Structure 1
Amino acid sequence: MKKTLLTLSLVLISAVAFSQASVSLGLKAGANFANADTDISTDGITSFHGGAYGLIKLANIGIQPEVLFSKQGADSNFGDVDLSYVNVPVMVKFYLPLGLNLQAGPQFGILTKAESGSTDVKDAYKNSDLSAALGAGWDAPFGLQFTARYVLGISDVSEGAGDFKNRTFQLSIGYSLFKLGK
């Protein structure tokens, strides 16, 4: 395992050093405007997300995996549902001129907490969530990233009767802490 990791690291460093590739690591945070596609009428909630990202960029294509803590859920006549996830989106970014980009990719989520009011309802929800994410952004030349993204839940996260699929619109700002390459 150590040899494989060392080999991959050397290949990555070589690719960055001898090509147009760049690698950066950073932090990001922002607002979530969450709701759910469910059998009952729900209202959206406003919450937050935050975490870290890595970006591997070659010419006008980039791969950006992220690890984010995200508060999601919905309000209904039966009470609010607050879901906390550790989400791992893996975005493919297609770069346009001036750092503008279009993004798409899967997002994998792990449920860490589920509450309705102050009651623990984690047993009523599945431990994982699969979503598709689409968005647009701007990678500013001074290390800032601005992103708008819609995350569409594919999997039903409810353990009970009826569907509950997460829907989240995210606005975020990121900052590159480290960059290697162009």
Structure 2
Amino acid sequence: MKKLLLIASIAVAGITVNAQETRFGVKAGYSLSTIKVDEAQDDLEARSTDPSHTFYIGGLVEHKFGDKFGVQGEVLYSPLGGKEDYNVSEGQLYFREKSKLTFGTLLIPVSAKYFITENMSVSLGASFGVILSAKQKTVIDAGLGLPGLDIEGDDDVDIKNDVNTLNIAPFLGAEYMLENGLFFDARYNYGISDLSKSDGKVTNSFLQVGVGFKFGGN
């Protein structure tokens, strides 16, 4: 009887160990990044925003607890940001300022995963972004509508001192992995941190769609 209990205990322990799996991997993909300016601004009607098309790249570690649940941590780099267009005119007078904001960001996403099937999972978590650099490219076009009195120019300036360092973005995502470790994933990150140190709140949200590979191993 004691031998049977010992054998059963060893078998259960073996199942528990096998049910836990840690895998490392790499990933890269496309990001659609947008900025949102506080709606309380008086000149909101003169402003509009457009997304920036950019990329991300980095590595990950995934740990599964049994067949259904797991956690995943990542370290990624992405030049996030967005575009803003300020345009006003009255008669022959006009002023247009087009700005592109680029935040060189180190992303640390942490998520809980639920495996719908062995290959398909959904994730819920948050991305903690550390802004390493911040630049603003501005193009100005202004004038009185008269020959010789129009102004055109562009400028590229470092705005790191005007930007808060931390960008927290909760996200919801999905992933599909093939048997050989190749996977495809997508997630939407909703920025909640105010990135502006001056008046007017600025947030950064981004969609990520990419591909990666996980190396097997317990």
Q: The residue matched to 2:161 in structure 1 has which SS?
A: helix
User: What does 1:90-169 align with in structure 2 at a 5 Å threshold?
Assistant: 90-117=110-137, 118-169=156-207
Q: 1:7 — aligned with what?
A: none
Unaligned runs of 5+ in 1: 1-13
- The total of aligned residue pairs comes to 167
Cα gap change, 1:38 to 1:24, in 2 (>3 Å)? same
- 1:29-54 superposed Cα distances (whole Å, 9 cap, x missing partner): 00000001213421001000010000
Q: 1:5 — aligned with what?
A: none
Q: Distance in 1 between matches of 2:69 and 2:202?
A: 34
CA RMSD of aligned residues (A): 1.8
User: What does 1:2-151 align with in structure 2 at a 5 Å threshold?
Assistant: 18-39=17-38, 40-58=47-65, 59-77=67-85, 78-117=98-137, 118-151=156-189
Counterpart AA for 2:82: A
The alpha-carbon deviation at position 18 of structure 1 amounts to: 2.3
Once superposed, which parts of structure 1, at least 4 consecutive aligned residues long, lie more than 6 Å away? Answer: 14-17
Q: 2:216 — aligned with what?
A: 179
Counterpart AA for 1:37: K
Equivalent residues of 1:16, 1:180 under 8 A apart: no
The alpha-carbon deviation at position 19 of structure 1 amounts to: 3.3
Whose Rg is larger?
A: 2
> Identity percentage over the alignment?
28
Q: Distance in 2 between matches of 1:65 and 1:179?
A: 16
Per the normalisation by structure 1, the TM-score is 0.86
Cα gap change, 1:179 to 1:113, in 2 (>3 Å)? same
Per the normalisation by structure 2, the TM-score is 0.72
Equivalent residues of 1:15, 1:21 under 8 A apart: no
